[in-house]
Structure 1
Amino acid sequence: MSTATLSARRAPDTFAIVLMIVLCAIWGLQQVAIKSTNAALAPVFQAGLRSAIAALLVYGWAGLRGTPLFRNDGTLGAGLLAGVLFAGEFVCIFLGLTLTSASRMAIFLYTAPCFTALGLHWFVEGEHIRRTQWIGVLVAFSGMALAFADGFTRASGASHQSMLTGIAGDALGVLGGIAWAATTVVVRSTRLAQSSASKTLFYQLAVSAVVLLALAALLGQVRVEVVTPLAVVSLAYQAVVVAFVSYLIWFWLLTRYMASRLSVFSFLTPLFGVTFGVLLLGESFSLRFLMAAGLVLAGIALVNAPARRSEVRA
């Protein structure tokens, strides 16, 4: 990408800010949609269908725009790796939501920006973590530790099996965040960084569809328990609204506005996730979990905060 193109990117205006808030709400609702459909569609099978439908939509969109998806540009290896990591992320999310609440999943999953900052620091030249970001990582991880402690406390009155189930669900949320961060690092550190947004997204969706559907077959999850209007609407929401429309809008915003300024809004997504979990699923949380969520949100905001002059290295 040329220097002129980079310099043309500007700070988010009112339109971009409103659009980012809408996107964060869409992403925050995703956990609720998945959890509400797990009873109708086996989790891994549901994840595979989501990726397959979205991949077909991206393929059609690229065809309409004349964007080549199969040109030999040296991105195949990185694209396959990104797709496998993307599949791993959603295995963790979909299975995790059978074990823990949507509110808790939203908090643990969205520690991803902190893992991303660490991954870029270690594997991408010029992406060193600033002092403010280190503080943000420590604050977010402190919140994550407090949230785990809250999980142990809440499960103390339950059976040993129930306690292990809840903690396993929380751990899958963290693993999902790590897989998400690893996908971002692969995209940023390989030739995928120069690839079109449609091709990068198609790699992730198409490869994950194959991996997830194959895994569902191996696990005996290729089945539909019951077809309900809620399940149909939920799957359509995940595939069309989240995996297709919202991701393309996000990539479009990145071509016109400064990524660092847009990323600051990422802390809103887990906030929406917790809110929707409480309002739509009737989930409850303790004061300790509320404090933990506040620490994670503050950490995400610090990790994504624009660099101050004193922190910019020559």
Structure 2
Amino acid sequence: MPHTKSHLDGLSIILLTVLCASWGLQQVAIKLSAADIAPIVQSSIRSGGATILIGLWVLLRRKPMFEKDGTLWWGIAAGLLFSFEFVLVYFGLEYTNASRAIIFLYMSPFVVALGSQFFIPTEKLTRLQYIGLTSSFIGILVAFGESFTFPSQDMLIGDFMLIVAAIAWGATTVVIKMGPLAKASSSKTLLYQLSVSALIMPIAAWISGETWADIHFTPVAVASVAYQTIWIATFTFIVWFWLIRIYPAPKLASFSFLTPFFGVLAGGLILDEPMTPALLIAMVMVGVGIYLVNRKHTPVVV
């Protein structure tokens, strides 16, 4: 079992900030290449390519991957949840708008916190830390809630898909942390998820009507897919699973609230998308929330 820590340190905070910035930029990369490669097809290529890269990495390091360590079914479960989340996000966006999707998807840290409360006793949050999570979530509402009007029937369908996607996202983290995957190497945990996703995403693309025949390998499309495959799915994901092994899952999950803001900033700088003053207020609320979740608490002796 790797040495675990009860609080985030400087290294983890730097890594989390880089991860959130990278994931935010990924949203722009997907938009930039959507006209040349459909989104679910992009995800299929990303998962398949990253599976090959991680597999080669494991072979080069000569690390055992097929020993009987009790991780098989847990890994398949995590892979199914991981794939299910992305499928629901892509399909949900067909019915609801992006702002509503962000609000519902970022309910995920609460799923991690509640799951930890029941299944990971050593990582329970205090009342103040739940207030911190709530502050961050309200920040998301302030930033992206301008389109949060009374929904149509189609929007309700999309909203429901995004809520279930948030549950799947949070559950993936809890499943990894509560079972034998917590003791497995980061590369093995990631390989489970990528390989299952590589099988499921092409099926999802076919169901959605996206075809591989419509791919156009323009320089922008190739750069976007390379970024998603090499940097996002291979490097950042393996760092994320390493962090999950070492640090408390709810505290890590609280940093995910930064991702949509990095996405908005990247969209403003690269795609000339609008950035409103409400974003500044929202980012302050998210920052306060992350601080409350991760501040050290001194126990009171009575």
TM-score bucket of the superposed structures, by smaller chain? 0.7 to 0.9
Matched, 1:232 2:230: no
Q: What is the Cα deviation at residue 82 of structure 1?
A: 0.5
Alpha-carbon contact 2:103-2:144 (below 8 Å) kept? no
Query: Residues 285-308 of structure 1: CA distance to partner in whole angstroms, max 9, x if unpaired?
Result: 5556765565455444433x1440
User: Quick check: 199-208 or 124-133, which moved more?
Assistant: 124-133
Q: What is the Cα deviation at residue 254 of structure 1?
A: 6.4
Matched, 1:207 2:203: no
Query: Residues 262-281 of structure 1: CA distance to partner in whole angstroms, max 9, x if unpaired?
Result: 83654433321221122222
Seen in structure 2, the aligned counterparts of structure 1 residues 19 and 137 have a Cα distance that, compared at 3 Å, is: closer
Alpha-carbon contact 1:20-1:262 (below 8 Å) kept? no
Q: What is the Cα deviation at residue 164 of structure 1?
A: 5.0
Which position in structure 1 is the counterpart of 2:42? 46
Query: Residues 12-54 of structure 1: CA distance to partner in whole angstroms, max 9, x if unpaired?
Result: 25xx655443333212211111222222222222212111111
**For residues 100 and 216 of structure 1, what CA distance do their matches in structure 2 show?**
20
User: Quick check: 123-132 or 47-56, which moved more?
Assistant: 123-132
Counterpart among 203, 207, 227 of residue 218 in structure 1: 207
**Partner amino acid for 2:260?**
P
**For residues 236 and 92 of structure 1, what CA distance do their matches in structure 2 show?**
23
Query: Residues 128-161 of structure 1: CA distance to partner in whole angstroms, max 9, x if unpaired?
Result: 22112221233344445556752135xx8xxx97
Structure 1 spans left out of the alignment, 5+ residues = none
How high is the TM-score relative to the length of structure 1? 0.78
Alpha-carbon contact 1:106-1:274 (below 8 Å) kept? no
Q: What is the Cα deviation at residue 282 of structure 1?
A: 2.6
Alpha-carbon contact 2:123-2:250 (below 8 Å) kept? no
Seen in structure 2, the aligned counterparts of structure 1 residues 87 and 261 have a Cα distance that, compared at 3 Å, is: closer
How high is the TM-score relative to the length of structure 2? 0.81
Seen in structure 2, the aligned counterparts of structure 1 residues 35 and 218 have a Cα distance that, compared at 3 Å, is: same
Counterpart among 177, 193, 200 of residue 188 in structure 1: 177
Counterpart among 8, 11, 14 of residue 9 in structure 2: 11
* Aligned-CA RMSD value: 3.7
Matched, 1:125 2:115: no
Structure 2 spans left out of the alignment, 5+ residues = none
Map of 1:57-136 to 2, 5 A cutoff?
A: 57-96=53-92, 100-101=97-98, 108-136=104-132
Seen in structure 2, the aligned counterparts of structure 1 residues 10 and 216 have a Cα distance that, compared at 3 Å, is: closer
Query: Residues 202-261 of structure 1: CA distance to partner in whole angstroms, max 9, x if unpaired?
Result: 001000110111222333323234332211111111111011012233445667x75589
**Partner amino acid for 2:184?**
S
Alpha-carbon contact 2:174-2:249 (below 8 Å) kept? no
Counterpart among 2, 18, 21 of residue 17 in structure 2: 21
Q: How high is the sequence identity, in percent, across the aligned residues?
A: 41
Which position in structure 1 is the counterpart of 2:134? 138
**Partner amino acid for 1:72?**
K
Alpha-carbon contact 1:261-1:306 (below 8 Å) kept? no
Matched, 1:245 2:235: yes
Seen in structure 2, the aligned counterparts of structure 1 residues 91 and 111 have a Cα distance that, compared at 3 Å, is: same
**For residues 307 and 39 of structure 1, what CA distance do their matches in structure 2 show?**
47
Alpha-carbon contact 2:117-2:125 (below 8 Å) kept? yes
Paired residues, what number? Answer: 299
| Partner secondary structure for residue 29 of structure 1 | helix
Seen in structure 2, the aligned counterparts of structure 1 residues 95 and 296 have a Cα distance that, compared at 3 Å, is: farther
Alpha-carbon contact 1:114-1:140 (below 8 Å) kept? no
Seen in structure 2, the aligned counterparts of structure 1 residues 308 and 173 have a Cα distance that, compared at 3 Å, is: same
